[in-house]
Amino acid sequence: MSNVKLAVIFYSMGGTNYQLAKWAEEGGKEAGAQVKVLKVEELAPESIIERNEAWKSTVETTKDVPIATGDDIQWADAIIFSVPTRFGNMPSQMKQFLDIQGGLWSSGKTVNKVVSAMTSAQNPHGGQEATLLSLYTTMMHWGAIIVPPGYTDQSVFGAGGNPYGTSVTVDQDGNMVDDVQAAVKHQAKRTVTVAEWVKKANQ
């Protein structure tokens, strides 16, 4: 059994990335990891959120999910990020969370964290791969070890074949077009496995 500590950190407006995070939690636990599911702090004004029923619903649904902090980054051996795309980039909520970890970065506490990422968009070419790459750019500066799914399992093809990380297209009603549950769980298990290798090597 793995003794890897996995943090699944998400931002979700319509609920999709919260669901991806929960599937990643399942996969991580199946791989033997100790898992925390955490959200980043919401930055959007309440007046904007109130105008969007799906957004309001997600805020309510996730109200008891702990907000991620730098302490969670230090705790984790592995981190899976899950974010929607915003014009081909990660959302500002996730960007701020990463940006305020400068103290951890400067003291070397982000080095060799094993990381992977997932995303969603309203169409297949809505910036899914670019969003993952934008997040991975920060991880390179952290000195983290990036673990993409690649084509390491048939489930990746079934989920649309994104080697950078599981990505899902969501229709206008907020429903996932692709069946990505198996791919998410595979990605989580792969991340935990690599983190276990890294952890053993450093013991």
Domains for the chain: give ranges and CATH numbers.
Answer: 5-201 (3.40.50.360)
CA dist., res. 107 & res. 2, Å (int): 27
Q: Annotate 157-175 with DSSP letters as a single string.
A: HHTT--SSS-EEEB-TTS-
8 Å CB contact between 199 and 193:
no
- 183 within 8 A of 166, measured Cβ to Cβ: yes
Helices 128-142 and 92-99: crossing angle in degrees, nearest 10, is: 10
| pLDDT in single tens digits along all 203 residues of the chain | 469 999 999 999 999 999 999 999 999 999 999 999 999 999 999 999 999 999 999 999 999 999 999 999 999 999 999 999 999 999 999 999 999 999 999 999 999 999 999 999 998 888 999 999 999 999 999 999 999 999 999 999 999 999 999 999 999 888 899 899 999 999 999 999 999 999 999 87
83 closest CA partner among 119, 133, 38, 43: 119
